[in-house]
Structure 1
Amino acid sequence: MATTSGPGSSARNSHRLRDLCCDLQAQRNATSLLKCLLFALPALLVLAAGVLLVLRFAVTPQVKAYVEDARLISFVLVDTRPASAATTGPSFLYNVSISVALTVRNTNGAMAIKYTKPLVATFLFHDRRLYNVTVADEGHRHRPLKRELHLLQTAGETPCVLDAAGGEEFMKQNATGVIKVEMRLSGRITLGIGNRRLLELSCPLTLQRPPPGPDVVVFPEVDCIPDKPKKIVF
Structure 2
Amino acid sequence: MRSMQRVVAILESVARAVTPTTPVRVAEETALSLSTVSRIMRELAVEEMLDRSADGRYVLGTRVFNLVASGKGDRVAAVNQVLLELRDLTGETVSLHVRRGDQRVCVASATSKHQLRRVIPIGDAVNLVGTVPGDVLMSQASAAERDALVSAALSGRARTTQLSRMQFAAEQGYTAYSVSSLGLTGIAVPVSVAGETHAALTVSGPDSRFSAELAESWLEDLQAAAKRLEPLMESD
Shorter-chain TM-score bucket reads under 0.3
Structure 1 length as normaliser, TM-score? 0.26
Q: Which has the higher strand share?
A: 1
Using structure 2 for the length normalisation, give the TM-score: 0.25
Q: Max radius of gyration: which structure?
A: 1
Report the structure, 1 or 2, having the larger helix content. Answer: 2
